[in-house]
C-alpha cells in the first residue's frame, strides 16, 4: 500500500472554497449579518439540505432542471425510499417548515436562515452551484401588517452596512403600482409588458419599445409605460409623478399608498440609501406587493440581494392563507464577486491572539499553566508545539500574523514578558492581569 | 389556480430539524464549541458539501455504500460532468483541501470545520442521514510533535465542558501499546484479536474468549490480552500494570511513553475527566498512535466523540507525508440523543430582548425612533407591528418569552416606561441610558 495512486485534487467548477484568511472574512460577515437579523428579533431555523422532490416542485416554475437529486451509491433494488433532492433556495423549505410546524410557531413568525443551497446551472462567472443565502422572512396568518414592508428593507440595508463593502442602495417598488397602472391603461394581460420592461437595463429604451410594438402594444401605452418605469425618486414624490401621467385605478392608488408608507418609514436610513424606483419589477411571479432590490450605488447595477411580499407561499403545503414578506442576501455571490475583483482584504490566517513560547521541554508544565491563565481570560492562545529555537517560534507567529508573543520565565523566578509583533515593543507582563 | 393540491409536509427519516426554541440551543452550542476551538488558535475552513466520487473513495473502506451521489434532474445526455457526491465526513475533504492548497497553508495547519455530512445509512434511533460534525485536526509535514496528542483531547474536553450537558470523560489510549503488546506476545497479525477485543463492551469477557478460541488464539494469549484491555487508570500508573503482565517490545515502550506524556499533560483537567483505558481501540484502520473516545461519565458508554492520530491521511491526494491528529464531536448525534431523552431545555423562541409597544398609528415615527436608540445599544428589539390593544401586544411578548416590554410616551411629554415581564415590575426609563 506504499505506492498509492495520486488523485490530484482540484476545484469543482461552481463549488467555491476559500483559504483560511478569506474564510475568516466570510465567517465574520456571517456573524455580522446574523447579529443584525437578531437585533430585529428574527429567530434562526435550519432546515435539512434535502427535501422530497415533490415538495420542491410543488410550486412549479423553471427551477426543475436545476435540481440536484440524490441517489445512494449502492441503493438496493426496489428501494421504496422517497425521492430526495437538495433544496435550490431557502424559501420553499421555509414554507414547508411553517406548514409542518404550524401549531408550534408564534405568528407573525419572524425567522432567519443562513444555509447553503444548490443549483445545477451551467457554471459561469458569478454563478455558483453551491452557495450561501441569508434569508429573513415574516409570515403571518390571513394578513400581514404593512409594518413589515418597511422593516425588512431596513434590516437588509443594515446588514449590508455592517459589512466592509462599497455603499449599497435599495431600490424599492410595489407590484400593485405597475399592475394598477397597466390596469388603468386598460391592459388586462400585463405579463408581456412587465416582462419586457424588466429587460430595460439590458436592452435599453429603444429595445423595449421595439419589443412592445412587436407584441402589438399601442405606442401610446408603450410610451407611458416607459415613462412610468423611469420614475425614480429618493422620497415619496414618485406618487406625484405617477399621477401626472394621468392614469388612475384603485390598485394603483393602493400601491402608491403602500410604497409611500414604506419610503416614509425608511427616512432614518442614510441619504441615497433608498430609492423608490418604479422600474423594479423582479421576475418572480409570486410577489404581490412591495419589491426590493439591493445594488452597489456605483458600478454594475446587478442585484446583490432583494425580495418582496407574497400573498400565499405555503398554499401547496397547508390549507391556510399565509402571506409573508422576505428578503435575501446572496452571500456567496456577493463575496465571490468581491473576491474576483480582489476587493476582499484577507483576514488573519488563524484566530490566535497570543503565541506562548516553549523555551525548553523541561518547562512544559509551567508554560502550559501560563497558557491556561491567558486562555481563561477569553484570549485565543497557542502554545508553541516544541522547544524549537526562539527564532523559529517567532517566525511561526509572524507567518500566521499572530499579534503577540508571550515569553514565560526561562528559569524560575524570572518575569514574564510579552512582545507586540506589530511595533516590536517588548515588556514585562503578568499573565493574570495583562490585556492585549 | 385557487384549488391547489396539498402536499402534506412531513419529516424525512434521518434528516432532523428542530423548532426555533431548540435550534436556539443548538446554535448556542455551536457558538460555544467554536469559541473553544478558536481559543486554541484553530482556524476555520469550509469545504463544499460536494466532492468528486473518486476523491471520496480514494481511501477505500466500507463507506462506499453510504454515499449519496448527485444527479441534475434534467441532465443532458452525454453530460461530461464529474461524478459528484455529498461528503460523508469532514476528514476526507480536509485531506483533499490540505493537498490542494498545500503551498498556501502554514504548518502545523490547525483547522476546525463545523459542517453537515451525509450518509445514506438505514435510518435508526441515534443515526442520522444528515448531521453536523465539529472537527479539529492538526496536520504537519513529515512529523507531528507529541504536543498535539495532549492538546487535542484538552480542546475536546473543554468543548464538552462549555455545553450544558451531563459530565463527560475522555478514554485515551495509544495504538502502539496494543500493537506492541501483541507483538511482544509473538502475534504478527493482530487484526482478528483487536477486532474481537473491540467488541468487549458488547459481548463481554466470555464472548471475547470464545471468539478468540474459535479463531485459534492460544488461551494464554487471550487471557493476557483480556487482562490488558481491562487496564484503566486515572493517571499514568497504567504503565506499571502493563509491565506487570511481563510482555515487552520496543513499540510497546514507545506507546507507553507517549500515553504517559499525554496523561501527564492533561493533569489540569478535572478529576475523573481523563482515563487511560487500554480497552479503547477504535475501529478505524488509519489510526496509528493516540486514540481518544468521549463518553458520558454515567449511563450508556456509547461514544459521543473522539478521534486519534494518523500517519498519513492525504497520501491519496499528494506526494507528501502529512501526519496529523484529529478529534470530532458528533454534534447532531449528541444533540439528538439528549432531545430524545427530553434533556434539552428549550431556549427562547426569539432572540428579542425588548418589545416596544406601538400605542397608536399616529405615533409610529416616535416609536420607531425609540426602537432605533435601543437597537443601536446592541439590544435585540422588536417594535410591535400594529396599534393593537396593549393587552394583545403584551400577550405577544409573553408568548415569545420576550423579557422586557417598553412603553414609549403615549402622548408628547410623557415619560418612557419599561416592564420586566419576569417579575412584573414597571418603571420609568430613558432609552438612551437603560440597560436590561
Contact B50, A12 (CB under 8 A): yes
> Does the pLDDT value for residue B22 go beyond 60?
yes
Q: Does B51 touch chain A (CB under 8 A)?
A: yes
What's the mean pLDDT in A419-427? Answer: 97
Q: What CA–CA distances, in Å, run from B269 to B169, B235, B307, B327, B400?
A: 10, 12, 18, 17, 39
Contact B190, B178 (CB under 8 A): yes
What's the mean pLDDT in B89-96? Answer: 95
User: Which of B317, B419, B416 has its CA nearest to residue B373?
Assistant: B416
Contact B140, B322 (CB under 8 A): yes
User: Which of A191, A153, A123 has its CA nearest to residue A336?
Assistant: A123
Q: Which helix (DSSP H) or strand (DSSP E) does residue B325 occupy?
A: strand B324-329
What's the mean pLDDT in A167-171? Answer: 97
Q: Is A28 exposed, middle or buried (0-12, 13-18, 19+ CB in 10 A)?
A: middle
> What pTM was estimated for this model as a whole?
0.96
> Does the pLDDT value for residue B1 go beyond 50?
no
Q: Does B368 touch chain A (CB under 8 A)?
A: yes
In B, minimum Cα distance to A348 occurs at: B43
Mean pLDDT for chain A? 93
pLDDT (tens digit, 9 = 90+) per residue, A261-286? 999 999 999 999 999 999 998 766 78
- Beta-ladder partners of A324: A139, A310
> Is the Cα dihedral B219, B236, B138, A362 positive or negative?
negative
Q: Does A68 touch chain B (CB under 8 A)?
A: yes
Identity of the residue in B69, B148, B318 whose CB atom sits nearest the CB atom of A71: B69
pLDDT tier at B127 (50, 70, 90 boundaries)?
Answer: confident
How far is it, in rounded angstroms, from Cα B79 to Cα B57?
22
Q: Contact A369/B268, CB-based, under 8 Å?
A: yes
Q: How far is CA B48 from the centre of its chain?
A: 18
Q: What DSSP state is assigned to residue A228?
A: H
How far is it, in rounded angstroms, from Cα A149 to Cα A156?
11
> Does the pLDDT value for residue B276 go beyond 70?
yes
Specify the pLDDT at position B2: 43
Query: Rounded to the nearest 10 degrees, how much is the dihedral formed by the CA atoms of B294, B299, B302, B304?
Result: -40
User: Which of B24, B51, B92, B44 has its CA nearest to residue B324?
Assistant: B92
Q: Is B92 exposed, middle or buried (0-12, 13-18, 19+ CB in 10 A)?
A: buried
Phi, psi of A395 (to 5 degrees): -65, -35
Give which of B13, B15, B41 to mutate to test A binding, by max A Cβ within 10 Å.
B41
> Does the pLDDT value for residue A123 go beyond 50?
yes
pLDDT (tens digit, 9 = 90+) per residue, A35-70? 999 999 999 999 999 999 988 887 666 666 689 999
pLDDT (tens digit, 9 = 90+) per residue, A295-319? 999 988 889 999 999 988 888 899 9
Q: Contact B48/A75, CB-based, under 8 Å?
A: no
Angle between helices A20-39 and A147-161 (to 10 degrees): 150
Contact A379, A371 (CB under 8 A): no
In the block, residue with C-alpha cell 475536546: B156
Cβ neighbours of residue A264 under 8 Å, at least 6 residues apart?
A: A236
Is the CATH number of domain A354-428 2.160.10.10?
no
Q: Which helix (DSSP H) or strand (DSSP E) does residue B86 occupy?
A: strand B84-86
pLDDT tier at A424 (50, 70, 90 boundaries)?
Answer: very high
Q: Where are the domains of chain A?
A: 20-72+79-166+298-340, 354-428
Q: What DSSP state is assigned to residue B354?
A: E
> Does the pLDDT value for residue A96 go beyond 90?
yes
* Residue B62 vs residue A344, higher pLDDT: A344
Beta-carbon count within 10 A of A78 CB: 5
What's the mean pLDDT in A250-258? Answer: 97
What's the mean pLDDT in A168-197? Answer: 92
What's the mean pLDDT in B121-135? Answer: 89
How far is it, in rounded angstroms, from Cα A10 to Cα B101?
9
How far is it, in rounded angstroms, from Cα B139 to Cα B141?
7
| Alpha helices by DSSP H, B12-129 | 20-39, 53-57, 91-100
How far is it, in rounded angstroms, from Cα B69 to Cα B74?
15
Q: What CA–CA distances, in Å, run from A206 to A212, A229, A232, A281?
A: 10, 14, 19, 19
pLDDT (tens digit, 9 = 90+) per residue, B382-408? 999 999 999 999 999 999 999 999 999
Separation in Å, CA of A426 to nearest CA in chain B = 22
How far is it, in rounded angstroms, from Cα B390 to Cα B118?
48
What are the cell numbers at A74? 449502492
3-class DSSP assignment, residue B341: coil
Which CATH superfamily, name and number, covers A20-72+79-166+298-340? Bira Bifunctional Protein; Domain 2 (3.30.930.10)
Q: Contact A399/B106, CB-based, under 8 Å?
A: yes
Specify the pLDDT at position A1: 39
Q: Hey, which residues 30-49 in chain A have their CB within 8 Å of chain B? A: 38-49
Q: Hey, which residues 282-321 in chain A have their CB within 8 Å of chain B? A: 315-319
3-class DSSP assignment, residue B302: coil
For residue B6, list chain A residues with Cβ-Cβ distance below 8 A.
316-319
Q: Left (φ > 0), alpha (ψ -120 to 50) or beta: where does A216 sit?
A: left
Contact B430, B407 (CB under 8 A): no
Q: Which helix (DSSP H) or strand (DSSP E) does residue A291 occupy?
A: strand A287-296
Angle between helices A250-264 and A147-161 (to 10 degrees): 40
3-class DSSP assignment, residue A371: helix
In A, minimum Cα distance to B62 occurs at: A74
pLDDT tier at A2 (50, 70, 90 boundaries)?
Answer: very low
Q: Contact A82/B12, CB-based, under 8 Å?
A: yes
pLDDT > 90: percent of chain B? 82
- Between chain A and chain B, the number of residue pairs with CB atoms below 8 A apart is 271
**CA angle, corner A128, sides to A124 and A130, nearest 5?**
155
Q: What share of chain B is helix, strand, coil (3-state, %, to 5)?
A: 35, 20, 45
Q: Under CATH, which architecture does the B10-166+298-347 domain have?
A: 2-Layer Sandwich (3.30)
pLDDT tier at B11 (50, 70, 90 boundaries)?
Answer: confident
Cβ neighbours of residue B255 under 8 Å, at least 6 residues apart?
A: B174, B175, B176, B177, B178, B179, B180, B289
**CA angle, corner A15, sides to B52 and A45, nearest 5?**
110
Identity of the residue in B12, B58, B385 whose CB atom sits nearest the CB atom of A108: B385
Specify the pLDDT at position A333: 94
pLDDT (tens digit, 9 = 90+) per residue, B356-382? 999 999 999 999 999 999 999 999 999
Cis status, amide bond into A148, omega within 30 of 0 = no
What's the mean pLDDT in A241-260? Answer: 96
What are the cell numbers at B265? 499533560
> Does the pLDDT value for residue B79 go beyond 70?
no
Lowest mean pLDDT across A15-24, A357-366, B50-59, B318-327: B50-59
Amino acid at each position: 500500500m506504499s505506492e498509492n495512486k495520486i488523485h490530484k485534487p482540484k476545484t469543482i467548477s461552481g463549488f467555491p472554497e476559500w483559504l483560511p484568511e478569506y474564510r475568516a472574512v466570510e465567517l465574520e460577515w456571517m456573524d455580522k449579518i446574523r447579529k443584525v437579523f437578531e437585533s430585529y428579533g428574527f429567530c434562526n431555523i435550519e432546515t435539512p439540505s434535502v427535501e422530497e422532490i415533490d415538495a420542491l416542485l410543488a410550486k412549479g416554475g423553471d427551477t426543475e432542471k436545476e435540481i440536484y437529486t440524490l441517489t445512494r451509491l449502492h441503493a438496493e433494488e426496489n428501494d421504496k425510499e422517497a425521492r430526495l433532492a437538495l433544496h435550490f433556495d431557502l424559501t420553499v423549505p421555509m414554507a414547508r417548515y411553517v406548514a409542518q410546524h404550524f401549531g408550534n410557531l408564534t405568528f407573525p413568525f419572524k425567522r432567519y436562515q443562513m444555509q447553503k443551497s444548490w443549483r445545477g446551472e451551467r457554471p459561469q462567472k458569478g454563478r455558483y452551484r453551491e452557495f450561501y443565502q441569508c434569508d429573513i422572512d415574516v409570515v403571518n396568518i390571513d394578513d400581514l401588517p404593512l409594518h413589515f414592508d418597511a422593516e425588512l428593507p431596513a434590516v437588509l440595508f443594515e446588514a449590508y452596512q455592517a459589512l466592509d463593502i462599497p455603499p449599497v442602495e435599495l431600490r424599492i417598488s410595489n407590484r400593485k403600482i405597475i399592475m394598477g397602472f397597466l390596469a388603468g391603461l386598460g391592459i388586462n394581460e400585463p405579463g408581456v409588458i412587465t416582462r419586457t420592461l424588466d429587460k430595460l437595463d439590458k436592452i435599453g429604451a429603444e429595445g423595449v419599445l421595439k419589443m412592445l410594438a412587436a407584441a402589438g402594444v399601442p405606442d401610446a401605452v408603450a410610451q407611458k409605460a416607459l415613462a412610468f418605469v423611469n420614475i425614480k425618486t429618493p422620497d415619496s414624490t414618485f406618487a406625484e409623478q405617477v399621477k401626472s401621467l394621468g392614469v388612475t385605478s384603485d390598485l394603483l392608488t393602493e400601491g402608491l399608498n403602500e410604497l409611500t408608507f414604506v419610503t416614509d418609514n425608511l427616512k432614518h436610513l442614510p441619504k441615497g440609501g433608498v430609492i423608490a424606483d418604479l422600474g423594479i419589477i423582479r421576475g418572480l411571479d409570486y410577489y404581490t406587493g412591495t419589491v426590493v432590490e439591493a445594488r452597489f450605488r456605483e458600478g454594475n447595477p446587478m442585484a446583490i440581494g432583494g425580495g418582496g411580499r407574497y400573498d400565499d407561499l405555503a398554499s401547496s403545503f397547508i390549507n391556510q392563507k399565509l402571506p409573508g414578506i422576505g428578503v435575501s442576501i446572496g452571500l456567496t455571490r456577493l463575496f465571490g464577486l468581491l473576491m474576483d475583483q480582489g476587493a476582499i482584504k484577507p483576514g488573519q490566517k488563524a484566530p490566535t491572539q497570543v503565541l506562548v513560547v516553549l523555551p525548553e521541554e523541561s518547562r512544559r508544565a509551567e508554560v502550559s499553566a501560563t497558557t491556561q491563565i491567558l486562555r481563561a481570560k477569553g484570549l485565543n492562545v497557542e502554545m508553541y508545539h516544541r522547544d524549537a529555537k526562539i527564532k523559529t517560534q517567532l517566525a511561526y507567529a509572524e507567518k500566521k500574523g499572530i499579534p503577540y508573543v508571550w515569553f514565560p520565565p526561562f528559569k524560575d523566578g524570572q518575569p514574564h514578558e510579552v512582545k507586540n509583533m506589530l511595533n516590536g515593543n517588548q515588556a514585562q507582563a503578568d499573565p493574570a492581569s495583562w490585556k492585549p
